[in-house]
Copies of this chain bind each other. A is one copy, B any other.
């Protein structure tokens, strides 16, 4: 069965996020001063062929740990949707 995983990989809260800071400053310069605490990470969508949702979850976790997220600097979370 096919599953679609939507993965977010974000810089850890404890760390500075210079890209987020730059976006925040730019938004302020564009007149959007109501915006704060901008953090920028990655969003990855992928399709997985797996026998069960549990297996798909395991495979997605493997992919995040082996390649998509760097645990020293980033945290990941994901949602799985059938189809």
Contacts and interface: CB of A to CB of B under 8 A. Distances in A.
B39 A41 contact: no
A40 B36 contact: no
Interface string A33-54: 0111111111111111110000
Interface residues of A, number: 33
A73 interface: no
Contacts of A32: 59, 62-63, 66
Contact of A34 (B8, B26, B59): B59
A39 B46 CA distance: 6
Contact of A38 (B39, B41, B45, B62): B45
Interface of A: 8-10, 20, 23-24, 26-27, 30, 32, 34-50, 59, 62-63, 66-68
